[in-house]
């Protein structure tokens, strides 16, 4: 690839504000979807005025919030223990666009985690868990063409660049300290709208 910039980087997960923001967004959508389903199930109780009055409803809501809390805790422990709070990526930035590639060692770990998630989803008869596992298995690499980039946000303090495309497309470029200036200059030459963040 002509004029391509390539580098490898190990990105922390739980301590990275950009990754945690994306994880938080996904978990928020999942939480709101779950609340919607539970609300629809409990709608008859709301109509007859028995919502939160019966012991069954109270214990059901309590169980729900306990399970959500345990899910967050289990996720954090799993990331620390299994992934070592690190995600191994490779980047290629060239005249066509940006390629974010999961390195082979990371793909092997992800493959095992995705198989476990699909298996657990099948055992618990949870289509959402099974679906997440299957989707994650098929999306380990990502690319974004320059022609689809609408805006580039630069975070020099964090050696990070966020590219926003159309229809929710997004690519987060995590740079090593010695690559950031070179990559930032290259990105600016290929994007019409560029913004440097103050924090």
Give the DSSP per-residue string, 39-53: HHHTHHHHHTT-TTT
Which residues make Cβ contacts (< 8 Å) with residue 171, sequence separation at least 6? 98, 100, 142, 144, 162, 163, 165
Determine the pLDDT at residue 29.
Answer: 74
Determine the pLDDT at residue 53.
Answer: 54
Tokens representing residue 114 in the block? 């995705």
Residue keyed to tokens 């409990």: 42
17-41 vs 55-82: helix axis angle to the nearest 10? 160
| Average pLDDT per block of 10 residues along the chain, 199 residues long | 85 87 76 73 66 57 69 72 82 94 81 64 49 50 90 94 88 95 94 80
Determine the pLDDT at residue 146.
Answer: 93
Which residues make Cβ contacts (< 8 Å) with residue 38, sequence separation at least 6? 64
């Amino acid at each position: 690839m002509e004029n391509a910039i390539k580098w490898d980087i190990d990105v922390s997960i739980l301590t990275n504000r950009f990754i945690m923001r994306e994880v938080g967004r996904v978990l928020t959508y999942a939480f709101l979807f779950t609340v919607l389903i539970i609300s629809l199930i409990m709608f008859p109780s709301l109509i007859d005025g028995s919502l939160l009055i019966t012991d069954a409803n109270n214990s059901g809501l309590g169980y729900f919030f306990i399970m959500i809390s345990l899910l967050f805790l289990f996720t954090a422990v799993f990331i620390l223990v299994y992934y070592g709070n690190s995600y191994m990526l490779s980047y290629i930035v060239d005249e066509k666009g940006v390629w974010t590639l999961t390195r082979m060692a990371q793909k092997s770990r992800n493959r095992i985690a995705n198989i476990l998630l699909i298996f657990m989803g099948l055992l618990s008869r949870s289509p959402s868990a099974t679906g997440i596992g299957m989707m994650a298995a098929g999306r380990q690499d990502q690319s974004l063409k320059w022609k689809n980039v609408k805006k580039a946000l630069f975070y020099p303090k964090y050696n990070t660049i966020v590219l926003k495309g159309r229809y929710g497309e997004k690519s987060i470029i995590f740079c090593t300290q010695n690559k950031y200036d070179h990559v930032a200059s290259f990105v600016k030459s290929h994007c019409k709208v560029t913004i440097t963040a103050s924090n």
